[in-house]
Amino acid sequence: MNNSIIFTGDGQTTVFYFTFPFFGVNDVQVTVDGIIQTTDVYTMTPTPAPNDADTEYTGGTIEFNNAPSAGQSIKIYRDIELVRHIDYQPTLQPQSYQLNQDFNQCIGALQGLKAKIQNAIGMANIPTVADLLTELTTIRTALPNLLDQDDLDTLNDTIDDIQDALTALNGYDYVVESQLPTADNNYTWYRKYKSGWVEQGGRITLNGQISASNKRITFPIKMSDTKYTACAHLNANAGMQAVYVGWEGTAGMSVGTASASSTGQTTWYVCGTASNE
């Protein structure tokens, strides 16, 4: 399951929807152009899960006080906070769905740890075994007196699997983060590899002659420099005009034609090395 989604701002939209499960309101984080947003600039409305479900929430909405600017990249993602959400009473029998929620929270935290490790492979800050054990200790501390020995064994097995995967995959390049094109993200997609290589693209509607500000694309993944490969192609149904790219920057570029009247649908593609920021 993809526990994040990326949108491109249009200067008008303030409400953005997400559908990944989470356990507490602090599990959801929001960035705009890579900068974490504080909760005073947006309101999150969670979607409660059905009664007796294995998670507290199934998604929700983020509503900004002010619409992000056109071309800005908005990312909504899950980063599970290691806090208790259920208070077990000594005189009451725990419900199975409550135990499942707590254990799913623990597994979700491990999944987040695995994603961070995969993103770091080939980069500067590769986690050590000691780092993994510290994370495991934190998770165990967050769920005192909950997990029996079988569950603890499962967690230890999961950590072992992560370590084995790191060893086996360290010599290969593979996708560590991706996004499929959908209507919700304006058909923007990307594939980021553990080496730092990234491929990304999308669809836009042209707004006339190309210039430094028209039509500006903001990349979902920032590039390390401007030496990347970039191209664009006008939909044949919109007329056979040449499409140009220019004013390349690490965060975006311009796409357009030589004609001020062109408003056709265009696909764009960029590949190169992603920024470490």
Which H, E and C letters describe the chain, residue by residue?
CCCEEEEECCCCCCEEEECCCECCHHHEEEEECCEECCCCCEEEEEEECCCCCCCCEEEEEEEECCCCCCCCEEEEEECCCCCCCCCCCCCCCCCHHHHHHHHHHHHHHHHHHHHHHHHHCCCCCCCCHHHHHHHHHHHHHHCCCCCCHHHHHHHHHHHHHHHHHHHHHCCCCCEEEEECCCHHHCCCEEEEECCCEEEEEEEEECCCECCCCCCEEECCCCECCCCCEEEEEECHHHCCCCCEEECCCCCEEEEEECCCCCCCEEEEEEEEEECCC
From first CA to last CA, the distance across the chain in angstroms is: 25
Nearest C-alpha neighbor of 132 from the set 117, 119, 122: 117
Give the sheet arrangement for strand 197-205, strand by strand: 175-179, 189-193, 197-205, 265-273, 229-234
Position 85 scores a pLDDT of: 62
Mean pLDDT over 115-143 rounds to: 57
pLDDT at 43: 95
State the pLDDT confidence band at 264, using cuts at 50, 70 and 90: confident
Structure tokens at 166: 């790191």
> What residue spans define the domains of the chain?
1-80, 82-172, 177-273
In this predicted model, what pLDDT tens digit does every residue of 153-199 receive, in sequence order? 666 677 667 666 656 655 677 788 899 898 888 889 999 988 899 99
User: Dihedral sign, CA of 218, 221, 224, 227?
Assistant: negative
**Could you say which DSSP state residue 27 is in?**
G
Quote the mean pLDDT of the chain. 80
Tokens of 54: 């294995």
Which fold does the domain 177-273 belong to in CATH? Immunoglobulin-like (2.60.40)
Take residue 10 and report the two structure tokens written for it: 């249009």
Q: How confident is the model at residue 124 (pLDDT cuts 50, 70, 90)?
A: very low
Q: pLDDT of 204-254, one tens digit each?
A: 888 888 899 888 999 999 999 999 999 988 765 555 678 889 999 999 999
